Structure 1
Amino acid sequence: MARTIAVQTLIDQLQSNCERSFSDAHAMPPGVYTSPEFLTLEESEIFAREWQCVGRASALKEPGDYLTTQIGAQPIVVLRDEQMQLRAMSNVCLHRMSVLLEGRGNKRRIVCPYHAWSYALDGELQGAPLMDRQAGFCKESYKLPAIRCEEWQGWIYVTLDENAKPVNQQLAELTTLIDAYGMSDYIETFYEEHVWDTNWKLLAENFMESYHLPMLHRATVGPHSKLEEMECPPGYPAFNYHWITKEASLPIGNAHADNTRLTGHWRKTTALLAIYPTHLVTLTPGYFWYLVLQPRGVGQVHIRFGGGLAPEFIADPQANAHMSTLKKLLDDVNAEDRRGVEAVFRGVHAPLAKPGNLSHLERPNYDFGRYLASKLARH
């Protein structure tokens, strides 16, 4: 009972903060980052119900290409079937319930590493060694459970909620906002996975605001970041965003000469997108990079980190050099962000920790808090 009361108190504090006008908004209370019970509620009310990005569709180029992920306790495999359609399925064998596949790769069929039961790319059971000796066994009755899977702007999303509105509906306003970039055609050129020692929301919030750029990133992008040029409009129910319009420090930060999609100031405008709950994208006229977050308890976050180039820069003879320069910069920026968000996670445990007022450049954080409150209020 005490734990339930403690979580309800955090929800009440979060809601009370969200009821303030933005001009008097505060950061979220420390307990939302440190409470295991609060994370349990997030897993049931947010992660088990929301659409979650798992990566770029272009990463699955051939029949049998697959990637794996997990929502809560449910392992999931996403793959291209023989007809090149995207499918998502339970990644758990229907025999003795072993996890089937790990990581990324290509398989012509899915073979359980425990007893060699094998499945076709549509999830139907193909083989079960020696099971023909069991009269009660019927191979045709076995098929890996399907999981909803949709594509938006070149991204793959999955959800465990059969009643969730389609991704394209939830992100219709965002589609309109960024349509001219043509993000669907951007090509991923690198992908990595990392684990940081912080709460998933601290990393999400770090991405959402650019107020920290001049200080935390003073050795990298900070000197090129002009806070007065940043626009932070109110967010939407499924996402928030902000714009930075400036002359980019890298050639690929602005539109390529062959880019005819973008005109005027859009040729040098960067969009920073936070698609709830855990998909974070920096979209520039020439390149993109992203983070997809997955909590591992309150104190660690698994990160899918990737990025690439707009098609005009992919076709440019200097594409490899541009990408190499970008990747080094992103690695340096990530190292700075890691130090920052891990320090904040240590700080929110302090007995005297107290959230202060948000700046006008932290409007996305305010909207993120309102999103969390709206989902957790169902509890």
Structure 2
Amino acid sequence: MTALPNSTDSGFEIVRALRNNCERPFEDARAMPPEVYTSGAFLALEQREVFRNDWLCVGRASALAKNGDYLTATIDDQPIVVLRDTNGELRAFSNVCLHRMSVLLEGRGNVRRIVCPYHAWNYALDGSLANAPMMERQAGFCKEQYQLPSVRCETWQGWIYVTLNEHAPSVQTHLSELTNLIEPYGMTAYVETFHEEHIWHTNWKILAENFMESYHLPMLHRSTVGPHSKLEEMECPPGLPAFNYHWITKEASLPIGNAHPDNSRLEGHWRRTTALLAIYPTHLITLTPGYFWYLILQPRGVDQVHIRFGGGLAPEFVNDLKADEYMATLKALLDEVNAEDRRGVESVFRGVQAPLAKPGHLSHLERPNYDFARYLASRLGTA
């Protein structure tokens, strides 16, 4: 673990409480202290030690299919843009103009050049300054001296990851153990068919923890997926440094919940087994033999989380004549599940603010939450 923050840091006692909690064996594990979710000082530590240093997923590479396609994101306070350049390569840059520091692009889209909305300085897709109106009158100005700062950008299993950490191992190395676990699914070939963005009124970690554990399925999701999940058969193995995971065997309520007849990658019980993957800190994936869906989280203060929400189909279902029907049915189900989850996680956030709130013991199905807490405790502090 990194060193604790010094005693003048207002997040010191919260980090100490979290670490003390994480020193318990799993058999005696408790939920994280309420202040972990409500303290601005604790969030500042997360931004400094976690978000500025770890690999962060920003979306699916297939969403940027054409040259000039882009998406935007923020790492802590740093706006970034990820785009496909004129050579068809994915690149990431600071999304801040080098003139008067306006944010350049918003959302998603396609551009031939990156044009600043303030003074029309514009940049080629390699980040070089292409034109700056009327700046030739300034003798000290040299266009060739301007280049948008690059941000590390790599792909894994069809996902785009970025980091501000120049010294982080490659994302392929970082997630190599997860690659081995899920390789038979062939997630790289899954096709994203929808993408949305939302703001929920909860702490980002409450939503992450909700995704990680399936203990809540029979109750919170009793009207949707709960009855189809066999908790008695669930496996929650110990997590690894970069991620945690667990498996659910389902009697699929949708045809796409199981492997397509043309799927030759999966055999036996794996043809009906769903993997729930929590890639630290904020990338959450439900990977089934027939479809996937995901959440990518970004804190907006302690009380709001920005969510990138999307999903799609395995290639066999994409090529099926009923692909549109399957996708519409999946999307309708996921919208219901999300509505249930939103009620749950916003209720928890109200609860953790209560003066009498106190964390209780975790169940054996909440092993991923224990591992997530240990990940946070290991990352927070000063270098």
- Aligned residue number for residue 299 of structure 1: 303
Matches within 5 A, 1:204-353: 204-353=208-357
Residue 5 of structure 1, CA deviation? 5.3
- Aligned residue number for residue 129 of structure 1: 133
Structure 1, residues 141-196: CA drift from partner, whole Å, max 9, x if none? 00000000000000000001101111111100000000000000000000000000
Q: What SS class does the counterpart of residue 231 from structure 1 fall into?
A: coil
Determine if the alignment matches structure 1 residue 26 to structure 2 residue 30: yes
- Aligned residue number for residue 176 of structure 2: 172
Determine if the alignment matches structure 1 residue 161 to structure 2 residue 165: yes
- Aligned residue number for residue 9 of structure 1: 13
Indicate which of 202, 205, 228 corresponds to 1:201: 205
Partners of 2:356 and 2:256 in 1: how far apart? 44
Residue 246 of structure 1, CA deviation? 2.5
Q: What SS class does the counterpart of residue 289 from structure 1 fall into?
A: strand
TM score, norm. by length of structure 1: 0.99
Determine if the alignment matches structure 1 residue 119 to structure 2 residue 123: yes
| Contact 2:82–2:93, Cα closer than 8 Å, also in 1 | yes
- Aligned residues between the structures: 379
Indicate which of 54, 58, 69 corresponds to 1:54: 58
- Aligned residue number for residue 47 of structure 2: 43
Partners of 2:146 and 2:49 in 1: how far apart? 30
Residue 249 of structure 1, CA deviation? 1.1
Higher mean C-alpha deviation, range 3-12 or range 144-153? 3-12
Q: What SS class does the counterpart of residue 137 from structure 1 fall into?
A: coil
Residue 205 of structure 1, CA deviation? 0.1
Amino acid at match of 2:100: R
| Contact 1:229–1:246, Cα closer than 8 Å, also in 2 | no
Partners of 2:324 and 2:375 in 1: how far apart? 39
- Aligned residue number for residue 85 of structure 1: 89
Residue 226 of structure 1, CA deviation? 1.8
Partners of 1:172 and 1:180 in 2: how far apart? 14
- Aligned residue number for residue 66 of structure 1: 70
Indicate which of 99, 104, 108 corresponds to 2:103: 99
Q: What SS class does the counterpart of residue 99 from structure 2 fall into?
A: coil
Relative distance call for 1:67 and 1:5 in structure 2 (3 A) is closer
Partners of 1:2 and 1:150 in 2: how far apart? 35
Residue 328 of structure 1, CA deviation? 0.5
Partners of 1:108 and 1:2 in 2: how far apart? 49
Amino acid at match of 2:370: Y
- Aligned residue number for residue 144 of structure 1: 148
Partners of 1:111 and 1:48 in 2: how far apart? 27
| Contact 2:130–2:143, Cα closer than 8 Å, also in 1 | yes
TM score, norm. by length of structure 2: 0.98
Partners of 1:21 and 1:2 in 2: how far apart? 26
| Contact 1:117–1:125, Cα closer than 8 Å, also in 2 | yes
Partners of 1:164 and 1:2 in 2: how far apart? 25
Partners of 1:272 and 1:264 in 2: how far apart? 19
Amino acid at match of 2:126: D
Structure 1, residues 106-142: CA drift from partner, whole Å, max 9, x if none? 0001111111111000000010111111100000000
Unaligned runs of 5+ in 1: none
Residue 8 of structure 1, CA deviation? 1.0
Structure 1, residues 194-215: CA drift from partner, whole Å, max 9, x if none? 0000000000000000000000
Structure 1, residues 267-305: CA drift from partner, whole Å, max 9, x if none? 011000000000000000000000000000000000000
- Aligned residue number for residue 369 of structure 1: 373
